[in-house]
């Protein structure tokens, strides 16, 4: 099929302005759609090249006298970088954000109105600013508003983890300027978030472009959390240090306190580690981020506050010492590894306490019930990924709506590289559930995981004596199952929704999915061992 005139022009811009020979993946299709004046919603993983999807149309539309492209972005650092890079290749671009003084703002506004700019980057809160709206109105009246690009569009969704209030106002663009095409872009979107973006940004007529979310160079691995620091250190030494040289990597922790403690501990181990979280002084945060980007072989220990918009190509590993909130978060965070396409590791330590903790955070949050229900569903999907005994990549891709087929094995995740030995834990699972049932029914009581395991294993403690649990019919019925195995059984049952964790005292109750397990209709299969030290080094195999 011959190329359309639009695509031909886009390709010559790509080559002449940016110096790239050809479009990647869906870029060409997206760009053609947008140059043609249609709306589009683009879902592409980090590093796939979303920026060109609006930069090329911006240049083409400006050349055709159709006006300026306004890019809405929440990331000030990214605006600076992109404007700098565009100016370097001779494209007139500018940004308007809170870092500018009055004079600079005035100058940019003048250039904008004079039609001198091809791209204008603006923070989302700008859109509701009356002064900015007057500028847009003026351009609009003269048909000089060429395109709106909404970057990080998932920020409009309250279900996601990056929700920004200001994004809700972006529907205004469509309401005020219905004929200006819009392009919304994001690297993260499950079904819920996607539906939310369409609704809130009024993108019902937009064509949806979804690239494969696969990052084949990232090796996914989940280990059972026992002594997480020692486990992490071993991972670091085995795979990310060679001859005293340390790879760059990111270690995510669940709290600010843990970030501080972990960074300090790593420093004591002789590893160059820096902390990053929203509680640190702004200057220190900026300095640490800067060092991480510029210097080699630093380990950034951070909360999820670190990462969005950070483009460091040679991050060799992303480690999670705590469970993220959901698969979107996990995928986005791990996606910061290996952006250069070279082998990289996504390593996570995960244990029963993580599950309990995340449940509890949802239960205790002041959000309304519907919100919590969705958050629980998302957590369940992540637990299923963490507990899975089959290909992790398949789970991830399926979650994002990509069908891999039942036979798919990526050969670059722990489960594919060394398929875990499985044991049938259906009987122990039923024992655990009936023991919880006895607590509830016979005693009207609830207990946490530790006590439940003691009762199942027939281990007398002050607490079992105090409650006379030796008299329960389930006392000691699970002696043959080790404590570690019991924890795995309970994690799996929580992941299945057969056990629920009550928020305040973290006690266990039977959940919706308990029945089929109790009736023996649902089998429970678990991995033997913890899944550690079994996968050979990335360097050697990738």
Residue 184 exposed, middle or buried by CB count within 10 Å (0-12, 13-18, 19+)? buried
Positions in 350-369 near ligand ADP (CB under 6 A): none
Q: Which of Zn ion, ligand ADP, none sits in contact with 531, Cβ below 5 to 8 A by type?
A: none
Distance of CA 184 to the CA centre of its chain: 18
Q: 467 Cβ partners below 8 Å, 6+ apart? A: 443, 445
> Which range binds Zn ion by CB under 5 A, 19-27, 198-206, 235-243, 388-396?
388-396
Residue with smaller CB distance to ligand ADP, 48 or 481: 48
DSSP SS3 for 237 = helix
DSSP SS3 for 446 = coil
For residue 484, give Cα distances in angstroms to 18, 232, 352, 384, 519.
56, 19, 10, 19, 25
Residue with smaller CB distance to ligand ADP, 6 or 454: 6
- Which tokens in the block code for residue 309? 């918009």
> Which range binds ligand ADP by CB under 6 A, 20-28, 282-290, 370-378, 429-437?
20-28
Q: Which residue is nearest to ligand ADP (CB)?
A: 49
Q: Which of ligand ADP, Zn ion, none sits in contact with 391, Cβ below 5 to 8 A by type?
A: Zn ion
Question: Using CA atoms, how far apart are residues 510 and 432, in angstroms rounded to an integer?
Answer: 10
Min. distance of Cβ 71 from ligand ADP in angstroms? 12
Nearest-10 Cα torsion for 451, 456, 461, 463: 40
Q: Which of ligand ADP, Zn ion, none sits in contact with 48, Cβ below 5 to 8 A by type?
A: ligand ADP
Q: 178 Cβ partners below 8 Å, 6+ apart? A: none
Residue 297 exposed, middle or buried by CB count within 10 Å (0-12, 13-18, 19+)? middle
Q: Which of ligand ADP, Zn ion, none sits in contact with 413, Cβ below 5 to 8 A by type?
A: Zn ion
> Which range binds Zn ion by CB under 5 A, 83-91, 185-193, 276-284, 405-413?
405-413
> Which range binds ligand ADP by CB under 6 A, 21-29, 152-160, 468-476, 523-531?
21-29
DSSP SS3 for 469 = helix
Residue with smaller CB distance to ligand ADP, 46 or 474: 46
Residue with smaller CB distance to ligand ADP, 86 or 425: 86
In terms of phi and psi (left: phi > 0; alpha: psi -120 to 50; beta: otherwise), the region of 345 is beta
Q: CB of 428 within 8 A of CB of 486?
A: yes
For residue 103, give Cα distances in angstroms to 80, 107, 148, 257, 311.
18, 6, 25, 42, 30
Residue with smaller CB distance to ligand ADP, 48 or 348: 48
Q: CB of 213 within 8 A of CB of 42?
A: no
DSSP SS3 for 251 = strand
Regarding 218 and contact with Zn ion (CB under 5 A), the answer is no
Q: Which of Zn ion, ligand ADP, none sits in contact with 52, Cβ below 5 to 8 A by type?
A: ligand ADP
Residue with smaller CB distance to Zn ion, 200 or 409: 409
Question: Using CA atoms, how far apart are residues 472 and 456, in angstroms rounded to an integer?
Answer: 10
Min. distance of Cβ 52 from ligand ADP in angstroms? 5
Regarding 391 and contact with Zn ion (CB under 5 A), the answer is yes
Pairing mode, if any, of strands 241-242 and 245-246? antiparallel
Residue with smaller CB distance to ligand ADP, 20 or 237: 20
Pick one of 40, 410, 472, 481: the residue that binds Zn ion (CB under 5 A). Answer: 410
Pick one of 10, 11, 23, 432: the residue that binds ligand ADP (CB under 6 A). Answer: 23
Min. distance of Cβ 521 from ligand ADP in angstroms? 45
The three-point CA angle 395-365-253 to 5° equals 55
Question: Using CA atoms, how far apart are residues 148 and 119, in angstroms rounded to an integer?
Answer: 10
Which single residue is written with the structure tokens 């329960």?
472
Pick one of 416, 431, 432, 501: the residue that binds Zn ion (CB under 5 A). Answer: 416
Min. distance of Cβ 75 from ligand ADP in angstroms? 11
- Which tokens in the block code for residue 423? 């044991």
Min. distance of Cβ 347 from ligand ADP in angstroms? 22
> Which range binds ligand ADP by CB under 6 A, 19-27, 136-144, 373-381, 383-391?
19-27
- Which tokens in the block code for residue 254? 């669940």
Q: Which of Zn ion, ligand ADP, none sits in contact with 410, Cβ below 5 to 8 A by type?
A: Zn ion
Regarding 27 and contact with ligand ADP (CB under 6 A), the answer is yes
Residue 403 exposed, middle or buried by CB count within 10 Å (0-12, 13-18, 19+)? exposed
Positions in 302-341 near ligand ADP (CB under 6 A): 311
Site string for ligand ADP, 41-70 (x = CB under 6 A): ---x-xxxxxxx------------------
Question: Using CA atoms, how far apart are residues 46 and 113, in angstroms rounded to an integer?
Answer: 33
Residue with smaller CB distance to ligand ADP, 50 or 359: 50
Residue with smaller CB distance to Zn ion, 150 or 391: 391
Specify the DSSP class assigned to residue 536: P
> Which range binds ligand ADP by CB under 6 A, 16-24, 60-68, 109-117, 264-272?
16-24
**Which residues are near Zn ion by CB under 5 A?**
391, 393, 410, 413, 416
**Which residues are near ligand ADP by CB under 6 A?**
20, 23-24, 27, 44, 46-52, 311
């Amino acid at each position: 099929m011959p190329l359309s005139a639009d695509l031909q022009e886009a390709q010559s811009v790509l080559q002449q302005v940016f110096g790239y020979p050809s479009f990647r993946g869906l870029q060409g299709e997206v760009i053609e759609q947008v140059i043609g004046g249609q709306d589009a919603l683009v879902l592409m993983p980090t590093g796939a090249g979303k920026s060109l999807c609006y930069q090329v149309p911006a240049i083409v539309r400006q050349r055709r006298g159709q006006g300026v492209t306004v890019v809405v972005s929440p990331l000030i650092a990214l605006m600076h970088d992109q404007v700098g890079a565009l100016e370097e290749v001779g494209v007139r671009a500018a940004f308007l954000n809170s870092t500018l003084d009055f004079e600079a703002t005035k100058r940019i506004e003048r250039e904008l109105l004079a039609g001198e700019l091809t791209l204008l980057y603006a923070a989302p809160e700008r859109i509701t600013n009356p002064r900015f709206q007057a500028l847009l109105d003026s351009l609009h009246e003269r048909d000089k508003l060429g395109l709106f690009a909404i970057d990080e569009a998932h920020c409009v969704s309250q279900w996601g983890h990056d929700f920004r209030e200001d994004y809700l106002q972006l529907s205004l663009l469509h309401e005020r300027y219905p004929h200006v095409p819009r392009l919304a872009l994001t690297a993260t979107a499950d079904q819920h978030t996607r539906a939310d973006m369409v609704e809130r940004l009024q993108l019902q007529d937009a064509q949806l472009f979804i690239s494969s979310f696969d990052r084949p160079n990232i090796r996914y691995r989940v280990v059972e959390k026992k002594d997480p620091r020692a486990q992490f250190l071993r991972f670091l030494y085995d795979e990310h240090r060679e001859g005293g040289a340390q790879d760059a990597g990111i270690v995510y922790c669940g709290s600010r306190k843990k970030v501080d403690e972990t960074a300090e501990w790593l420093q004591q181990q002789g590893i160059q580690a820096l902390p990053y979280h929203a509680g640190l002084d702004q200057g220190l945060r900026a300095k640490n981020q800067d060092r991480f980007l510029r210097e080699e072989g630093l380990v950034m220990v951070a909360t999820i506050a670190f990462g969005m918009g950070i483009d460091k190509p040679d991050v060799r590993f992303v480690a999670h010492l705590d469970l993220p909130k959901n698969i979107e978060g996990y995928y986005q965070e791990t996606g910061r590894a290996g952006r250069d396409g070279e082998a990289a590791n996504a390593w996570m330590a995960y244990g029963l306490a993580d599950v309990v903790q995340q449940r509890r955070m949802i239960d205790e949050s002041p959000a309304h019930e519907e919100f919590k229900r969705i958050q629980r569903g998302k957590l369940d999907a992540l637990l299923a990924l963490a507990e899975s005994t089959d290909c992790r990549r398949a789970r991830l891709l399926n979650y994002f709506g990509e069908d891999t087929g039942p036979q798919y094995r990526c050969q670059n995740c722990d489960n594919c590289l060394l398929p875990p030995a499985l044991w049938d834990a259906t009987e122990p699972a039923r024992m655990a559930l009936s023991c919880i049932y006895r607590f509830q029914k016979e005693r009207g009581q609830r207990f946490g995981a530790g006590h439940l395991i003691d009762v199942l294993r027939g281990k007398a403690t002050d607490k079992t004596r105090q409650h006379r649990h030796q008299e329960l019919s389930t006392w000691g019925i699970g002696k043959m199952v080790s404590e570690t195995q019991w924890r795995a059984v309970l994690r799996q049952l929580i992941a299945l929704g057969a056990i629920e964790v009550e928020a305040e005292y973290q006690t266990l109750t039977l959940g919706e999915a308990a029945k089929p397990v109790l009736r023996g209709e649902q089998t429970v299969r678990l991995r033997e061992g913890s899944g550690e030290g079994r996968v050979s080094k990335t360097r050697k195999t990738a």
